[in-house]
Amino acid sequence: MDARRKAVWLFVIGGLMIAFALAFFVSPYASSSPDGLNKVAADKGFDGSAQEHALDDSPVAGYAVKGVDDPKLSKGLSGILGVTMTFGIGLVLFGLLVRRNHRAPSPTDAPGGNATPAGVT
């Protein structure tokens, strides 16, 4: 592995470690006040018309992990799962984009699919 590629991977891994640390240690102390949309709904008086979401019973609904009794630990684990899923989805999308760009024909490809030899015009 060349030095540039190694530096990129060290940067990515370092960023992930910082994101994991913030998700686990800082997210349990996030404000419990309603977010902007919930606050507006309460201020305007239509928060009572909210319906249950299909994923309300999912294992990580409500920024918590089901089965973990300690609320701070539950929220921290939920943050780690969120970082992991976001990074995984981003990595897959990035991989698909790189693969697509490698398959794209270069401007020097002939219409028949054969590249023009160097020095031939």
Question: Does pLDDT of 112 surpass 70?
Answer: no
- For the entire predicted model, the pTM comes to 0.68
| Span 11-23, pLDDT tens digits | 999 999 999 999 9
Predicted local confidence at residue 61, as pLDDT: 82
pLDDT band at 117 (very low <50, low <70, confident <90, very high): low
Decide: helix, strand or coil at residue 27. helix
Question: Does pLDDT of 120 surpass 70?
Answer: no
In sequence order, what are the residues at sequence separation of 6 or more whose Cβ sits closer than 8 angstroms to the Cβ of residue 66? Answer: 59, 60
**Kind and range of the H or E element at 16?**
helix 3-21
| pLDDT (average), residues 98-110 | 71
Domain extents in the chain: 3-30+56-103
| Span 29-60, pLDDT tens digits | 887 776 788 888 888 888 888 788 888 888 88
With a pLDDT cut of 70, the percent of the chain lying above it is 84
Find out whether 75 and 28 touch, Cβ atoms under 8 Å: yes
Beta bridge partners of 109: 115
